[in-house]
Each structure stands twice: as C-alpha cells, then as structure tokens.
Amino acid sequence: MHFLDQAKIYIRSGTGGPGAVSFRREKYIEYGGPDGGDGGKGGDIVFEAVEGLNTLIDFRYTQHFKAPRGKGGAGSNQTGGGGKDLIIKVPVGTQILSDDKEHVLADFTRAGERRVFLRGGDGGRGNASYKSSTNRAPRQHGTGWPGEEMWVWLRLKLLADAGLVGLPNAGKSTFLNAVTNANAKVGAYPFTTLHPQLGVVRHRNREFVLADIPGLIEGAAEGAGIGDRFLGHVERCRVLLHLVDANAESVADAYRTVRDELDAYGAGLVDKPEVVALSKADTLDEELMDALAAELEAECGSPPLRVSAATGAGTDAVLDAIIAHLRAETHADTPEPGTWSPL
C-alpha cells in the first residue's frame, strides 16, 4: 500500500429540499386550504476516525465529496425525506486544515471519534406554513437553504509512543526491524526509508508503538534531502530515540545536525525527552567506542547508550530507557489523589 500523509479535498453538504405548494382537495370538503409540506434537510458532511487505516492514499483518487440534498415536500403536509449524511472515514491521527493550511479545524486522536464538519441546509417551508388570517391560500414556498462547501487539507500525523530520529543510514530501520514486527526496507545507502514506518515493541510485559521516519540532513528545514515534512509524525511521540552512527566522521557533529533541524522545525520537538544511543556498536572495538561515547556525551550532556541492532547487543538497555521515560510521562499526566483534574 502506498503511503500518503497529505491530501486536499473538496467537501459540500447537501442543500435543503424545496417546500411544496399544494391544496387539499377532497369530496365534500369545500374549503380544503393549503397542505404543502416542508422540504427535507440536506445531508451533513461527517468525519470519523477509524482503526485499520494508516495512509490517506484513498483521497488521491477521490477528491470531491458531496452529501445528497433533501427531498422536496409533498401534499397532505408531508415533509420531504432528509439527505443521507456522508461519512468520510480517516485514519486516527488525521488533522483537518483550512485551505491555506494556517488553521487546524479538527484533530482526530481516538478511534471512533466522529464530528459533523459541515451541516446540511434546512428544508424550505411548504405553503401550509405561510397560511394566515389574511392569506388563506398562499402560493409561496421556500426553496431550501444551501449547504456549506469548502476545500480542506487532510494531514496525517501517525500516533506513536516513541519516535526514531537520526541522520540517513544511522541504523534506524534496522533497529525498528530488530525490536518490532515491522519489515522496513534496509540498505547500505542513505534514504532507504522514504516514508514513516510503525512497529509494535513488546518488552518486559509492556507494549508501545515505535515510529521511524526518513533521515534528516543539514538544511532539511529548507527542503534539503527529503526535507522535514515527515517530522510531523513524531510530534505526538512522548520520547525520541536519537541514533548516532558510530562510524560517522564526527558523532558530535552528527548529533548536533539533527538537533538543529528539530529546533528549526519547532513544535516542541527539542523539548521532548530523548534517549541517545551510538548505533552499529559491533563494527568498532571497545576502546574506540569509549572515545566516541565520551565525545558524544560532551555534546548531548548525558552518557549515550551503545547498541547493535544487527547482533541485538544493547537493545534491551535502549528499550528499558524508553519505557522509563514513558512511565515518567504517564505518572506526570496522572493527578495526585485529592487534586482536581479536568475531564
């Protein structure tokens, strides 16, 4: 399945049905009077977040969504049928943005979350509703109120507990495959990962979702390489795992490059808890790894972990550190007994 995390669509709710012009005509009833019913309401545009979707690819081929209009009223004071609501199903984590992408109009973070986005127009009044003491046989009627329409952007931000960041070819996909059920593409060249990947980690009777995004390079915020568009998928992560290739010319520069791009992107990414690890530890001897760890610690301010996804060495320690941060975040979000917390 192709991955697509942005799509522009046109949506329009249904127009209300017209009211009827009708008069009661029955045998032995001399003055029947008006009996035209009201028109039915137009269908609403409804967005619903559903499980099982992790891409917006369906919206590449279907870009116009129009709810049906309401039915017209009829004689005998019969109200027209309402137009059926049009339900648009989107993946969990989808945001709806304005046409200029400046405003977030809706954000779906839970499966089953549903929102009426555009309301259908009300039906027009039938001539029976215009009857008065001075207008006994009205012939006017309402044509129905128009629906609403607009262009919107859909933007998907995958929901994950932890996110993998680092330069291209830092071993992120190899690590993801080693600790989760994912099957990400791995290659001995940069940018083997072209779109975000998700995997479920099961470690020490705990499960969490780990996200891998394409590698960042210097100038990603200005569009270099694949750019920083996929960083939105780690905005919702509670902790970041920063992998630094032990074979880099300078592990300190490699770490600083990614941190600078996170800072340039914004959205609070540089403020998230971070686990730093030297990857591909099996390719270098212990003495050289000690020197690289000291260099990286001087840059990031804490001793980095050492991991080799190929051999599995150090993966338990990295996962333990991630789980510790997730537990700390969970406890921080839980109010103390006796304190008030908004629902």
Question: What mean pLDDT is reported for the chain?
Answer: 85
pLDDT tens digits, one per residue of 289-324: 999 999 999 998 889 999 988 888 888 999 999 999
Question: Domain boundary at 127, 156, 185, which?
Answer: 156
Binding residues for GTP: 166-173, 191-195, 212-215, 279-282, 308-310
Top pLDDT among 267 and 215 is at 267
Evaluate whether residue 224 is within a structural domain: yes
Q: How far, in Å, CA of 131 to CA of 138, rounded?
A: 6
Question: Domain boundary at 132, 156, 180, which?
Answer: 156
What range does the domain containing 124 cover?
1-156
Q: Do 191 and 139 share a structural domain?
A: no
Domain total in the chain: 2
Q: How far, in Å, CA of 163 to CA of 218, rounded?
A: 19
Q: Is the dihedral of CA 258, 263, 266, 267 positive or negative?
A: positive
Q: Do 314 and 166 share a structural domain?
A: yes
Evaluate whether residue 189 is within a structural domain: yes
Q: Which residues lie closer than 8 Å to 184 by C-beta, 6 or more apart?
A: 173, 176, 177, 193, 197, 199, 212
Q: What count of other Cβ atoms lies within 10 Å of the Cβ of residue 20? A: 26
Binding residues: 166-173, 191-195, 212-215, 279-282, 308-310
The predicted model gives 258-278 an average pLDDT of 87
- CATH classification of the domain holding 40: 2.70.210.12
pLDDT of residue 44: 96
What confidence tier does 100 reach under pLDDT thresholds 50, 70, 90?
Answer: very high
pLDDT tens digits, one per residue of 16-44: 999 999 998 888 777 788 999 999 999 99
Q: Do 172 and 309 share a structural domain?
A: yes
Q: Do 213 and 152 share a structural domain?
A: no
Phi, psi for residue 164 in degrees, rounded to 5: -95, 130
Evaluate whether residue 340 is within a structural domain: no
Binding residues for Mg(2+): 173, 193
Evaluate whether residue 71 is within a structural domain: yes
- Residue % of the chain over a pLDDT of 70: 86
Q: Do 198 and 127 share a structural domain?
A: no
Q: Do 13 and 123 share a structural domain?
A: yes
- With 0-12 / 13-18 / 19 or more C-beta atoms within 10 angstroms meaning exposed / middle / buried, residue 87 is middle
pLDDT tens digits, one per residue of 103-132: 999 999 898 999 999 999 999 999 999 999
